[in-house]
Amino acid sequence: MAGALDPVLRLVGEESAVLPPPAVVAVAEAARQRHGTGIVAVLFYGSCLREQDDQGKLVDLYLLADRYRNVHRSRWMQLLNRILPPNVYYIETAFEDRVIRAKYAIVKLSQFEKLVSRRTFEPYFWARFAQPTGVLWARSEAVRRRIVAALAEAARTTIGEIRPLLADRVDPEQLWVRAFQETYATELRAERPGRAAALFRSFAQRYREITDALLRQESAPISEGARRRVSWRWRRRRVTGKLLSALRLLKAALTFDDGASYLVWKIQRHAGVRLELSPWQQRHPILASGVLFWRVYRAGGFR
């Protein structure tokens, strides 16, 4: 098993070490310092990584922790992070002549390793981290190796959960586009047509190499029974995943300094629906959530 993963470990290890723009390093360090010595690593992913440009964008970061009690003073936040990871926060910092803004999430390293594996039913983590990810900082080389192994496992999990949905002969682009589309369908998001294909094309050679390395392990055709079971799992994920997405959005309204504005921004970005909040809704985003999600649904923001 380990030998079969060597090409993927090499690939994700190399890409994880690529240096990001200096502005991203600055805001990542500010986020790490906010939570003290409990942080063991900082990951960088998303559109700013794909385009190597943070101008006018929100940088996406993940902070991996050793223990939740070492990064959260509140026991309530520790509990929320444990039972519904991740906790999401906002930060901005000055860099040269501008302000860099970032959204960062916190999850415990050992929990992260489980969440990107097939031990976790929902694709929220493993589908995200099957995509290119940079390790901006790690406490030790041992921590870095654990992260690289987890990123390789995320790719393995994603391919393993999508492959049975496709024909016996499969093209890497077809596989990854289907993976992104299936993942979108499990969240409160209505991505633009062509979004999944654009994600593949941004790192096409990378996805092809990973697919070739992992599918080389196939030793027998996929049975019809296996295809039906996997198809049923994805149908279930569309229900449970949307519920978890709604709960995570509501939780972000608690952890963000301006949680109501984040809620509106996130819905507009992924569902294409613009909401105007009343003063009461801005002060009480949790209480107003039922009305807000009904408005998004009526406007066609998710299915």
Answer for the pair 107, 83: CB distance below 8 angstroms, yes or no: no
**Which domain range does residue 276 map to?**
240-298
Could you tell me if 140 and 262 lie in one domain?
no
> Tokens 């929100």 map to which residue?
58
Note the pTM of the prediction, 2 decimals: 0.85
Could you tell me if 25 and 91 lie in one domain?
yes
Could you tell me if 135 and 148 lie in one domain?
yes
DSSP-assigned letter for residue 203: T
Per residue in 58-78, pLDDT (tens digit) is 899 999 999 999 999 999 999
The domain boundary, picked from 223, 239, 255, lies at 239
Number of domains in the chain: 2
The SS3 assignment for 83 reads helix
The domain boundary, picked from 239, 272, 287, lies at 239
Answer whether residue 179 is part of any domain: yes
Token pair of 7 as six digits: 């090409």
Confidence of residue 2 (pLDDT cuts 50, 70, 90): very low
Confidence of residue 269 (pLDDT cuts 50, 70, 90): low
Could you tell me if 136 and 207 lie in one domain?
yes
Closest by CA to 189, choosing from 296, 288, 91, 92, is: 296
Rounded Cα–Cα distance for residues 156 and 19 (Å): 25
Answer whether residue 303 is part of any domain: no
Residue 211 has pLDDT above 60, yes or no: yes
Rounded Cα–Cα distance for residues 20 and 23 (Å): 8
The domain boundary, picked from 239, 258, 284, lies at 239
Rounded Cα–Cα distance for residues 53 and 24 (Å): 9
Per residue in 124-171, pLDDT (tens digit) is 999 999 999 999 999 999 999 999 999 999 999 999 999 999 988 889
> Tokens 């960088």 map to which residue?
44
User: Which residues, 6+ apart, have CB-to-CB distance to 266 below 8 Å?
Assistant: 249, 252
Could you tell me if 183 and 42 lie in one domain?
yes
> Tokens 């922790």 map to which residue?
65
Could you tell me if 141 and 285 lie in one domain?
no
Residue 7 has pLDDT above 70, yes or no: yes
